[in-house]
């Protein structure tokens, strides 16, 4: 199998590539524009693997995609490239429209052209796997309700609206043009190599530096947390075993309030990093509440019974075990975080490409 992965230098994409290269003999082509969130240092062993190739390209560039398809001849597309930070989408929605909607459209069109020109045997093997988010479903108001694959879309932010749009495009290309697609919608991911603007790494790194730990509103927003390596396992299982035309929700069975997540991180740091910054008695003392995000959803929760029933997938990590691994990883890999925060990871890349 030859898998083309868009956004493979991002958080989830890099976890997926690490998983594929370490557990299969599949070839991987990583198509990534290497924006601020794309970091080849999240793939430390990939460059030495003969089954891995990196193509620095924008998914909005049709000619670049066409050339990559013709040279690498993938039989599976796994589309993860996306702008994904809600706050950034509120401040500047244009990039989200461009990447998540126009980029997905461009990739679908090039995939359709490529698929049409395949012979019958290769056509039967082809898959277009679109990786999306539970945020397309909007907000859950009940305490026991869950997002299922048939939950109506009700996105709240420019980010989630752009992802909802891309989901609809993928389904339309399947129905109208016969493109063999599968879609997955996941809950909040966390784990190693997570870009520091996201909640869990942001809290870990701020705490280690003695900085404030900001929490939106009252901190009672609920998210279902999924360890990124569990997600990677599910994605590979879906693309190899899932039914064409189906949607699979992927969740971690870990509903937590944001304030609970922050408190859990503080408790772990008390144990794993007891030598605190000057002036800090307890990590929890750094917690502060800030003005809530506009349109902030109150609760997300995934019903992942379909993927469990049909494909036998279950997450390996509990929230407690996954969070411990995550905190320990950031303690053991301070160089990675420092290079991201300083921008060194990008400056060296740009110098190498100039």
**What are the residue numbers of the active site?**
134-135, 159
User: Any idea what the Cα angle at residue 283 is, between residues 261 and 279, rounded to 5°?
Assistant: 160
Residue 20 to residue 23: CA distance in whole angstroms: 5
**Measured at the alpha carbon of residue 60, what is the angle toward residues 27 and 116, in degrees to the nearest 5?**
60
Q: How far is CA 132 from CA 141, 160, 249, in A?
A: 22, 9, 9
Question: Is the dihedral angle over the CA atoms 255, 246, 104, 151 positive or is it negative?
Answer: negative
Which SS3 state, helix, strand or coil, does residue 350 take? helix
Residue 168 sits at φ, ψ, to 5 deg, of -65, -40
Name 271's Cβ contacts closer than 8 Å, sequence gap at least 6. Answer: none
* Alpha-carbon distances, residue 219 vs 8, 194, 215 (angstroms): 32, 21, 6
For the residues of 190-232, what is the DSSP string, one character each?
A: E-TT--TTSHHHHHHHHHHTT--EEEETTS--EEEEEEHHHHH
Question: For residues 173 and 126, is the Cβ–Cβ distance under 8 A?
Answer: no
Judged by DSSP in three states, 128 sits in strand
Listed in sequence order, the residues at least 6 apart from 150 whose beta carbon sits closer than 8 Å to its beta carbon are: none
Tokens of 297: 């959803």
**Cα–Cα nearest to 173, from 128, 132, 133:** 128
């Amino acid at each position: 199998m030859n898998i083309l992965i868009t956004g493979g230098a991002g958080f989830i994409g890099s976890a997926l590539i690490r998983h594929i290269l370490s557990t299969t003999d599949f070839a991987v082509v990583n198509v990534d524009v290497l924006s601020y969130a794309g970091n080849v240092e999240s793939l430390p062993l990939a460059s030495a693997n003969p089954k891995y190739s990196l193509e620095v390209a924008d998914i909005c560039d049709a000619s670049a995609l066409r050339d990559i398809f013709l040279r690498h001849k993938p039989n599976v597309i796994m589309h993860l490239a996306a702008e994904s930070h809600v706050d950034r989408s509120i401040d500047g929605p244009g990039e989200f429209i461009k990447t998540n909607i126009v980029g997905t459209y461009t990739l679908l069109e090039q995939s359709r052209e490529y698929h049409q020109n395949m012979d019958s045997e290769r056509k039967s093997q082809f898959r277009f796997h679109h990786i999306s988010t539970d945020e397309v479903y909007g907000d859950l108001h009940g305490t026991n309700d869950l997002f299922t694959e048939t939950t109506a879309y009700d996105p709240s932010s420019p980010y989630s609206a752009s992802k909802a749009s891309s989901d609809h495009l993928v389904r339309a290309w399947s129905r109208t043009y016969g493109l063999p697609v599968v879609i997955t919608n996941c809950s909040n991911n966390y784990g190693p190599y997570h870009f520091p603007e996201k909640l869990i790494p942001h809290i870990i790194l701020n705490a280690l530096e003695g900085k404030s730990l900001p929490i939106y509103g009252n901190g009672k927003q609920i998210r279902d947390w999924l360890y990124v390596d569990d997600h990677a396992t599910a994605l590979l299982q879906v693309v190899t075993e899932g039914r064409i035309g189906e949607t699979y929700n992927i969740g971690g069975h870990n509903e937590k309030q944001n304030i609970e997540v922050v408190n859990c991180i503080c408790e772990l740091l008390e144990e794993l990093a007891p030598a605190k910054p000057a002036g800090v008695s307890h990590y929890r003392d750094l917690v502060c509440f800030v003005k809530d995000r506009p349109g902030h959803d109150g609760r997300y929760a995934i019903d992942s019974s379909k993927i469990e029933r049909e494909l036998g997938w279950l997450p390996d990590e509990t929230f407690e075990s996954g969070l411990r691994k995550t905190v320990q990883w950031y303690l053991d890999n301070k160089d990675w975080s420092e290079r991201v925060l300083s921008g060194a990871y990008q400056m060296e890349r740009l110098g190498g490409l100039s």
